[in-house]
Amino acid sequence: MEWVNCNERKPPKTRLVLLFVDGDYEFGHLREDDFWIYTDGKFVKRYAPQEVTHWLMLHHPE
């Protein structure tokens, strides 16, 4: 698994991915044009696209 630069490619919309934001990792997804972060059982916090630098698609172990 490799980190994808958001400037090169956006993640699939509404798919749960690991995001790298301000030196920290967050689970979230891209909804419309903002990134929503999963916290306390719901999607709440939003980041503008320029705030998220990289994303990683997680896969089930084989």
* Residue 40 domain flag: yes
Q: Which two tokens stand for residue 39?
A: 């916290």
- Average pLDDT of 1-8? 90
* Residue 28 domain flag: yes
* Residue 26 domain flag: yes
* Residue 60 domain flag: no
Please report the pLDDT score of residue 18 as a whole number.
95
Contacts of 19 (CB under 8 A, 6+ apart): 25, 26, 27, 28, 35, 37, 47, 52, 54, 55
* Residue 42 domain flag: yes
- Cα 22 to Cα 12, 25, 34, 43: the distances in Å are 21, 8, 16, 18
- Average pLDDT of 38-55? 90
What is the torsion angle, in degrees rounded to the nearest 10, for the CA atoms of residue 29, residue 21, residue 6 and residue 11?
A: -10
Least-confidence region, from 4-8, 38-42, 45-49: 45-49
User: Which has the higher per-residue pLDDT, 22 or 52?
Assistant: 52
* Residue 62 domain flag: no
* Residue 18 domain flag: yes
pLDDT band at 2 (very low <50, low <70, confident <90, very high): confident
Range of the domain at 36: 4-55
Say how many domains are in the chain: 1
